Amino acid sequence: MISNEPLPLKNLGLWSLFFLAAFLAAYIIFAAMVSVWVGLTHVQQDGFWMPILTGILVMIVVLWPFVRLSRLILNAMKEKDAISI
């Protein structure tokens, strides 16, 4: 039998936005972790702290908006789409 319920396009779009943001954040955090690793493996050189500091700052700058965006997306998925007239 054919159901009259609409397709959950809102949730599908929000999930895809969430996964897109997660993959983008994971890519940038991976590059930041490589930067920290390079700094830690070159401790004997001058300025070894710069890639470590940069990597940590990039991780913070990426994780802070990602956590806020993911909270926003997950809260939007919990809301019902009831229209009150």
Tens-place pLDDT, residues 34-69: 999 999 999 999 999 999 999 999 999 999 999 999
> What pLDDT does 69 receive?
95
Domain residue ranges in the chain: 21-77
CA angle, residues 19, 25, 30, in degrees to nearest 5: 125
Helices in the chain by DSSP H: which ranges? 9-41, 49-78
Residue that has been written with the tokens 């997306």 in this structure: 73
Contact 56, 83 (CB under 8 A): no
Angstrom distance (rounded) from CA 85 to CA 83: 6
Instruction: Give the pLDDT band (50/70/90) at residue 79.
Output: confident
Return the amino acid letter for 59. Answer: M
